[in-house]
């Protein structure tokens, strides 16, 4: 890996399917979860401190600013559709290399990105 290739690290919210952990582990991608009792504020703080992209089903994270969170992937795929979720994540990882400062809305069919608020 060249020094110009960004290291992508993820932080999975408690509401993200457990098979997403296995998906990342199988690709040797750094992803972790905090304890189930972790608050959104703690998750955001760890995201900033460790430069991790939060993956969540919660809209609350999508509303945070770049001063509060390193980046967000907001899952817009029903939790009951694990196959579509993993397929969408696979496509996203192939197509997107930079997640810092972005809010990515991931659906089964496509993904859209927006800069996080700066306020």
- Residue 2: inside a domain: no
Distance CA 73, CA 54 (A): 6
- Per residue in 36-74, pLDDT tens? 999 999 999 999 999 999 999 999 999 999 999 999 999
Q: What is the CATH number of the domain that holds 49?
A: 3.40.50
Checking DSSP bridges between strand 111-115 and strand 102-106, what pairing results, if any?
antiparallel
Range of the domain at 76: 9-115
The pLDDT of residue 119 is above 80? no
Number of domains in the chain: 1
What predicted TM-score, i.e. pTM, was given to this entire model? 0.93
- Residue 3: inside a domain: no
Strand segments (E) across the chain: 9-12, 30-33, 53-56, 72-75, 102-106, 111-115
Instruction: Specify the 3-state DSSP secondary structure of 91.
Output: helix
- Residue 16: inside a domain: yes
Contact 69, 44 (CB under 8 A): yes
pLDDT band at 4; cut points 50, 70, 90: low
């Amino acid at each position: 890996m060249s020094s110009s290739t960004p290291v992508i690290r993820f932080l999975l919210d408690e509401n993200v399917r457990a098979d997403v952990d296995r998906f990342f582990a199988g690709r040797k991608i750094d992803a972790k979860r905090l304890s189930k009792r972790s608050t959104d504020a703690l998750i955001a703080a760890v995201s900033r401190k460790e430069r991790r992209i939060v993956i969540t089903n919660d809209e609350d994270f999508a509303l945070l600013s770049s001063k509060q969170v390193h980046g967000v992937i907001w899952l817009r795929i029903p939790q009951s559709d694990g196959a579509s979720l993993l397929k969408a994540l696979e496509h996203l990882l192939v197509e997107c290399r930079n997640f810092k400062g972005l809010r990515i809305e991931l659906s089964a069919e496509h993904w859209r990105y927006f800069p996080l608020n700066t306020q």
